[in-house]
Amino acid sequence: MSNSAAALARSLSARFNDLVAFEATQTIQAGPIEATAHVRFRKPDRAIVEYSTYRNPIAEADEMLGGDVEFSSDDLTAMTLTYDGVHTWHASARSDARLKRVGRTLYEPLPGYDALGELGFLADLTRDFLIRDAGGTVELGRPAHALGLKPKRARQSHLLKAVSYPFDRAVVDVDDESLFPVRVRFQPPSRSPLGSVLGRDGWIAVRYTDVRLGVPDVDAFVPALAKDVPLFEETFPAFSNLAAELPVPLRLDALLTRGFEPLDPCSLVVDGPRQRGYATVLLARRGLDEATGDAFLTVRIGNYVSRHMARRRAIISERGEELPLGEHTGRFLDRSVLWDGNRPAPPPAPFPLELSWEQDGIFTILTAEGLTKTELALLAAELASR
């Protein structure tokens, strides 16, 4: 480590440790993955994120396979996500409703990495990394200096804490005047999900532009909610408590008597004052032998249709087929029909089967793995008859 590189690294760490807040336009690129967002960050971990672009082929493939992506790219670019250190508040320009969730859910574009507003690695550069002088450079017309980083150890273990470094090498471009890291590039391990996408020589780049230091203040992370705005709150009750908290009848006895067992916890999203909401329940039935195999069933039910449920219902309606459920009628979809010939070969596991119907203002969607179309239809018919 040269004296100049060590001195710059120490100055950069000191600058970060003194920094309370910043806002910037952040661009993240990793091969086919690309996202741009206006990010506002305040220590220790508050963040406000507004995406302007979001492209993630990995998520798109997951959506095609199982429909499990909660928000599409179009959804995310219409949203403001506010993490106050405890909850994440979702606000969308396409809906008056707001969603409050426990924890940080900012829909990071890089699988396995929290990259949005994340500069915590700067806290003690000389302790954690081998540092080299990578020379002068120019970023957006401003002089900068580049530092090469390599973890001293892939994993550090301390009392009650362990830290791993999920990259092989990195380069940080530091603005000469502000000492802000305007660009960070790194190589993920080849065995990681991103490494397999990018290949051996693939790099991830994180760039910051239009940087303002010292803002926003703490009040920016307190959502302003009018009294007439519907607020849905997410909780994770045990299945045994779900029926008492869901604002619609939950009658899944037909599944339980056929050997399915609920896997706790469940997900429940409810607007309490208006008694609207929906729940997601995952159930499993263990196979008696290799011939029968395990079966998994996800039940989504409620008197309110989320963006995720609406997208599933639309795809099932457009690409599926009508299926009688006793006195009722549902729509059935084998998701393999969504896999077009321009995509890579699908995985060997069977695609999920889905069946949806509406009954007395209650919307139900079943997603099954390890069941046949006939078995799924019989289960749905029993549920719809109750």
Query: What secondary structure letter does DSSP report for 221?
Result: G
Whether 118 and 267 share a structural domain: no
pLDDT tier at 154 (50, 70, 90 boundaries)?
A: confident
Q: Does 224 fall in a domain?
A: no
Domain tally, the chain? 2
User: Mean pLDDT, to the nearest integer, of 193-206?
Assistant: 86
Q: What is the pTM of this model?
A: 0.92
Residue 304: pLDDT over 80: yes
pLDDT digits (tens, 9 = 90+) for 94-122: 888 999 999 999 999 998 899 999 999 99
Are 223 and 246 spatial neighbours (Cβ–Cβ below 8 Å)?
Answer: no
Whether 66 and 122 share a structural domain: yes
pLDDT reported for residue 291: 67
Following DSSP, what letter does each residue of 91-151 receive, concatenated?
Answer: EETT-S-EEEEES-----SSTT---TT--GGGTTHHHHEEEEEEEEEEETTEEEEEEEEEE
Whether 184 and 257 share a structural domain: no
pLDDT digits (tens, 9 = 90+) for 23-67: 999 999 999 999 999 999 999 999 999 999 999 988 888 887 788
Which range marks the domain in which residue 37 is found? 3-218
Residue 259 C-alpha from the chain's centroid: 32
pLDDT digits (tens, 9 = 90+) for 366-384: 999 999 999 999 999 999 9
| DSSP-derived pairing of the beta strands 267-271 and 261-262 | unpaired
Say which amino acid occupies 260: F
Whether 162 and 66 share a structural domain: yes
Whether 155 and 303 share a structural domain: no
Q: Does 373 fall in a domain?
A: yes
Q: Does 226 fall in a domain?
A: no
